[in-house]
Amino acid sequence: MLIETVYDNLISCLDELLSFIEVRFSTYLSLDERVPATYLLVTKKELSLRLGKLKTRLYKLVPDRRIVDIVLKTLYSFTNRPQGEYPVTFRDVLYKKELTKELEVLEDPEKETCIYTALNELLIYLNFNSKAFANHFTERLAEKINGLENLSEKLDQLLVHFKDFNQMHRKPGVIFNPQYRDLKTVLSNWFVQEIFYLEKKMRLSVTPLQSNTELPKQKVSPEKPKQKVMCILSTDQTGLILRASDELRIVVAKSMNEVFKTIVPHLSTPYKEDLSYDGMRSKSYVAEERDKQIAIETLERIIRKIKEY
């Protein structure tokens, strides 16, 4: 009995020591370093106890049981996995701890901004790049969009949801599974593909004339060439500036699509005379870092010029 007491006290002291090092000297720890077996055992026991209380609370707060199932299954698979089955790093442990801590203080999960509940926002903030979560998220969003009848409404709603998604906060340097792609990349690609599909579908949705309908006779006048303004930026860089101008409401139209559709046909670049407005708008969502930097530098030059006036 005495030996068991000594053993428990020793484990407790080691856990406190490791926790102290973890909190105070985390910047000096390699997150990809394997955690000690004793520390891992204590951490699993601690998380398992916390999950028992958390499980009941989450199911009461969150009507979407599927997303709760996904999160809890992920955490339980960590605590219940046999010791030594695969190496566990400090990154794994710290992520599971932070996720559990944030779930414990989660409040008003159904207080929505757009379609995003507080639980969705938390998982996106922590880069919870679980395949099951990404699939569930897109399924719920697709279900909401497909409930609309008009293609134009579907596109507008999808663009609004994409804008809200891009404006959500994300914690830098954090990821659930480093072996998978970043959650932002996966969901952004899904948005872009869906937007492109709806736009293509709208262009193909042409109502044919009835068989007894005659075309009115009109004089065919030669089309006047459009007057275009030369822009030295590339299409990707110009698209970034137009997209930002729309989202900040510097230019106002009924939709972002309308902004590009109205402005882009009157622009050209040194390398291309006729620009595609939908191509430019689509690329503005997946711009490369180099294009972002050039767009920022261009705007900074404009700011300096205005200051000289």
Query: Mean pLDDT: which of 77-81, 227-231, 305-309 is highest?
Result: 77-81
Q: What is the dihedral of CA 287, 291, 293, 295, to 10 degrees?
A: -100
Tell whether 68 is covered by a domain. Answer: yes
Do 112 and 101 have their domain in common? no
Give the domain range for residue 166: 108-204
Domain final position from 145, 171, 204: 204
Q: Is residue 224 part of a domain?
A: no
Give me the chain's average pLDDT, please.
Answer: 82
Burial bucket for residue 224 (CB in 10 Å: 0-12, 13-18, 19+): exposed
Q: What pLDDT band is residue 110 in, cutting at 50, 70 and 90?
A: low
Contact 237, 298 (CB under 8 A): yes
Read off the pLDDT of residues 182-241 as tens digits, 9 standing for 90 and up. 998 899 889 888 888 887 777 765 455 454 555 555 555 555 556 788 887 888 889 899
And the tokens for 232? 């030295």
- Sequence letter at residue 297: E
Indicate if 154 and 112 belong to the same structural domain. yes
Q: Are residues 113 and 174 in the same domain?
A: yes
Do 141 and 190 lie in one domain? The reply is yes
pTM of the model: 0.61
Domain boundary among 46, 71, 106: 106
Q: Is residue 86 part of a domain?
A: yes
Backbone phi, then psi, for 116, in 5-degree steps?
Answer: -90, 115
Contact 92, 47 (CB under 8 A): no
Residue 9 corresponds to which amino acid? Answer: N
Q: Count of alpha carbons within 13 Å of 6, Cβ hemisphere only?
A: 3
Backbone φ and ψ for 89, nearest 5 degrees, come out as: -95, 165
- Give per-residue pLDDT as tens, 17-33: 766 666 666 666 667 78
Instruction: Return all residues near 103 (Cβ < 8 A) that are at least 6 apart.
Output: 54, 58, 71, 122
In a domain, 219, yes or no: no
2 occurs within a structural domain: no
For the chain, how many structural domains are there in total?
Answer: 3
Q: Same domain, yes or no, for 19 and 90?
A: yes
249 and 267: one domain? yes
- Three-state SS at 54: helix
Q: Which amino acid is at 122?
A: L
Residue 223 belongs to some domain of the structure: no
Q: Would residue 215 count as lying in a domain?
A: no
Q: Do residues 138 and 102 share a domain?
A: no
Domain boundary among 106, 131, 159: 106
CB atoms within 10 A of CB 257: 21
User: Does residue 9 fall inside a structural domain?
Assistant: no
Query: What distance in Å separates the CA atoms of residue 76 and residue 161, rounded to the nearest whole number?
Result: 32
